[in-house]
Amino acid sequence: MDELIWTGSLNHRYAIRGSVGLYDTTLRDGEQTVGVVLDPDDKLEIARLLDELGIERIEAGFPRVSDDDWQAVAKIAAAGLRAEVWGFSRAVPADLEALVELGVEYSVIESPISDLKLDAIGVSRETMLERIAKAMRFAAEHDIHAAFFGVDSTRADPAFFRQVYETAVEAGAKEVVVVDTLGIASPEAVTDLVGATGQYVDGLPVHFHGHNDFGLATASAVAAVRAGASWVHGTINGMGERAGNANLGEVALTLRALYGVESNLRLDRIRAVAERVRELSGYELEPWKPVTGDTLYRRESGAVASQFHDPPSIEPYSSELVGAERAIVLGKKSGLDSIRIKADELGLDVPEERRAEVLAAVKNLGAEQRRLVTDDEFRSIVAG
């Protein structure tokens, strides 16, 4: 894959190497995007797409939220996916009993642990510790492989954070999740907290679950991996509450291309999966988004078009790497090379002496209409 990545040598000294697992929470945390509603069949389709994409762990949902969520978890658990199917539960008996009834073998079990959260729900630290220990014992007794998920980890009192995570492990948690619920942690803080957590839990797998409220979800995911995180949580397209979650496509590409960290995610399938999830969810994406954006490999600028024949000169990674198509488009910012390339593409004869005239017409139309010039419009301009 290295021949498809053109980032130069600048990052080599910062390489992490190794590999990391990807844990997808599109069907639970992602569906919490405002206005998004996915029915059980939608979720099953997405789960199958995630499985084909190479995601190793798929969070099927929170079964106690609604009957639809219950059905979705049941369908996905019975779908015969290669990926591990995980549930989501609070540290309360009814949630845990639902997992047992559904036969879910893996689950994150959440509890708020910051004083801000505890005060908001009127629960003391001592009571929450008791709930966490009881929930983890229940999971262990019922053969549920549980990962403790401390909500608002990054705003918890450090001493209480340590007490909580050690308590969860002593009671039977097999893995733990450091959770930046509101996306407030800097990458440096994530490095320190994930590294410390690994020591508190004596080497058990540590996950990182980050949100993007300050635009740092990908950077924080990288920081977590550098500190020893075994799993990174995220969603397709970064969907989720407020500013969303870490975008798994961006995380996987960044780790691979800039830090030499491998994952099982099939980058050549990410754009197709991202588009289908977008369609099912009913939202639009910024066209300039990394990895999946519509304009990522479309070139309007004449200055760039002059180098279009040499992709490494104008792109940091190949379109082939992410399953995209390169294209020259025409508009106000086009140049003479744009005209030549587009004419060749469409099989049109535009002699060199006519290119300036055609370019002027293209630029005028693009400026007047405030949009790109279509291929049919270009044909009409050439026809005169």
Work out the pLDDT band at 2, boundaries 50, 70, 90.
confident
Residue 1: band (very low, low, confident or very high) from pLDDT cuts 50, 70, 90 = low
The mean pLDDT of 55-66, rounded to a whole number, is 95
Please give the domain boundaries of the chain with CATH numbers for all domains: 2-281 (3.20.20.70), 298-383 (no CATH)
Q: What is the pLDDT of residue 159?
A: 98
Residue 384: pLDDT over 90: no
Note the pLDDT tens digit of each residue in 275-301.
Answer: 999 999 999 999 999 999 999 999 999
Q: What is the mean pLDDT of the chain?
A: 96
**Residue % of the chain over a pLDDT of 90:** 99
**Residue 185 DSSP SS3:** coil
CA 61 – CA 72 distance, rounded (Å): 7
What's the pTM?
A: 0.94
Instruction: Please write down the long-range contacts of 345-349, taking CB distance under 8 Å and 24 or more positions apart.
Output: 346/375, 346/378, 346/379, 348/378, 348/379, 348/382
Answer positive or negative: Cα dihedral of 87, 91, 92, 93: positive
pLDDT at 271 over 80: yes
Average pLDDT over residues 103-126: 97
pLDDT at 201 over 80: yes
What pLDDT does 147 receive?
98
**Distance (Å) of CA 108 to CA 67, 137, 181, 293:** 20, 14, 15, 32
Contact indicator for 237, 46 with CB cutoff of 8 Å: no
| Torsion sign over Cα 263, 269, 275, 281 | negative
Residues 229-244 pLDDT 10s: 999 999 999 999 999 9
**pLDDT beyond 70 at 122:** yes
Q: What is the pLDDT of residues 305-327, one digit of tens each?
A: 999 999 999 999 999 999 999 99
Quick one: which of 58, 63, 71, 69 has its CA closest to 96?
A: 63
What pLDDT does 280 receive?
Answer: 97
Question: Which whole number is the average pLDDT over 113-134?
Answer: 98
At residue 104, the pLDDT reads 94
